[in-house]
């Protein structure tokens, strides 16, 4: 294993030190494991807190800022954050209007966010959760009861974040976040395994001629394996799975996401195939992202996430955002 790290034990804290140095509009508490906006919470604005294991950067810390998250709690690599930093973050961003927890559906995340929410409620902070479970690949998995939460997290955080900036009440922000999740589906394919710093060797063994269909973002198994195939065929496998679960129709927001080790030029090739597939089903892409947004360390591969837009959701997607990883309109 060759990685740009100092020590397997300090990966997350060293990276947070880098984030603190790079982004003056963030406040990074390395010891507590929390990243929040430098500006204090604004009265009347619902706070947004997310978090989860590290190793998926820019998710979630790269999405803290105006128009998106108020705070993020990065756990250790592929490890849920403990309730304590979630409680600290929730209380720090509450300005009286309550706080939305954006929780990816992994058992550890769900438990720790629930515990944190209960303890915050005891102290008078209203918290509502939204559970993200967009991955159609498998029903249950290594770390999950039900579907896994993957790419739709970006859409939920962006759109709910925009709504929160308009001072919408907590119940409406939570309902819209849930609506984004309900309208979104994802599917991922890996060409290689990731390697965690602690293990120092690939999480799973994938022969040189095979790909993993329906991969999870921690390297947990998908539906099956297949021989390596042209991008067009791999894109069709992902899109068949998504289309089979929620038929493509109307105006779509589509993300072709890299798993961390895949070059951007390949992601654009996949996007071309995804776009042709969608056009062939009579739907159309009206908004898109192509790049690394929800990664799995150094894994090579991609995921596709499709969200069926409404006029309201399109408007919220277009609203200004200013974070390390998504930035437009200001």
Q: How far is the CB of 69 from a second copy (least distance, A)?
A: 17
Q: Interface residues for a second copy in 262-281 (CB under 8 A)?
A: 262-273, 275
Q: How far is the CB of 114 from a second copy (least distance, A)?
A: 27
Residue 17 or 166 having the CB closest to a second copy? 17
Judged by CB under 8 A, which of 34, 50, 57, 112 binds a second copy? 57
95 with 125: CB under 8 angstroms?
A: no
Rule CB under 8 A: say whether 149 interacts with a second copy.
no
19 with 74: CB under 8 angstroms?
A: no
Q: Which stretch binds a second copy (CB under 8 A): 33-41, 95-103, 205-213, 217-225?
A: 205-213
189 with 213: CB under 8 angstroms?
A: yes
Q: Which stretch binds a second copy (CB under 8 A): 99-107, 121-129, 147-155, 286-294?
A: 286-294
CA 302 – CA 215 distance, rounded (Å): 9
Query: Could you write out the DSSP letters of every residue in 133-161?
Result: --B-S-SSBTTBSSPPP-THHHHHHHHHH
Residue 23 or 45 having the CB closest to a second copy? 23
191 with 106: CB under 8 angstroms?
A: no
Q: Which stretch binds a second copy (CB under 8 A): 56-64, 147-155, 160-168, 241-249?
A: 56-64
What dihedral do alpha carbons 142, 246, 296, 326 form, nearest 10°? -140
Number of shown-chain residues binding a second copy (CB under 8 A):
62
Query: Could you write out the DSSP letters of every residue in 69-102?
Result: BSEEEEEEET-PPPHHHHHHHHHHH--SS-EEEE
Rule CB under 8 A: say whether 38 interacts with a second copy.
no
Residues of the shown chain interacting with a second copy in the complex, contacts defined by CB under 8 A:
2-7, 11-12, 14-19, 21-22, 54-55, 57-58, 62, 191-192, 208-209, 211, 228, 230-232, 234, 260-273, 275, 285, 288, 290, 292, 295, 297-298, 300-302, 322, 324, 327-330
């Amino acid at each position: 294993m060759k990685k740009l790290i100092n020590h397997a034990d300090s990966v997350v804290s060293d990276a947070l030190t880098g984030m603190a140095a790079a982004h003056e509009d963030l406040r990074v508490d390395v010891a507590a494991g929390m990243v929040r906006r430098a500006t204090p919470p604004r009265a009347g604005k619902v706070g947004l807190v997310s978090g989860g294991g590290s190793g998926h950067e820019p998710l979630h810390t790269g999405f803290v800022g105006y128009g998106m998250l108020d705070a993020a709690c990065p756990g250790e690599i592929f490890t849920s954050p403990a309730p304590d930093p979630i409680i600290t973050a929730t209380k720090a961003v509450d300005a009286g209007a309550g706080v939305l927890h954006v929780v990816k559906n992994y058992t550890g995340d769900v438990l720790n966010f629930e515990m944190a929410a209960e303890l915050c409620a005891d102290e008078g902070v209203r918290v509502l959760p939204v559970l993200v479970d967009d991955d159609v690949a498998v029903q249950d998995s290594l770390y999950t009861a039900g579907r896994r939460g993957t790419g739709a997290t970006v859409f939920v955080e962006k759109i709910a974040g925009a709504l929160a900036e308009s001072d919408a009440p907590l119940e409406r922000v939570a309902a819209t976040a849930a609506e984004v999740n309900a309208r979104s589906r994802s599917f991922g394919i890996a060409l290689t395994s990731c390697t965690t710093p602690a293990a120092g060797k690939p999480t799973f063994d994938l022969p040189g001629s095979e790909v993993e269909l329906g991969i999870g973002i921690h390297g947990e198994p998908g539906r099956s394996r297949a021989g390596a195939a042209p991008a067009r065929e791999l894109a069709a496998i992902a899109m068949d799975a998504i289309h089979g679960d929620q038929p493509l129709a109307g105006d779509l927001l589509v993300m072709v996401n890299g798993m961390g080790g895949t070059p951007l030029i390949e992601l654009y090739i996949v996007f071309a195939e995804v776009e042709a597939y969608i056009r062939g089903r009579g739907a159309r892409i009206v908004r898109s992202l192509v790049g690394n947004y929800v990664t799995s360390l150094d894994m090579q591969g991609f995921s596709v996430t499709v969200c069926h837009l409404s006029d309201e959701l399109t408007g919220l997607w277009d609203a200004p955002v200013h974070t390390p990883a998504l930035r437009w309109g200001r």
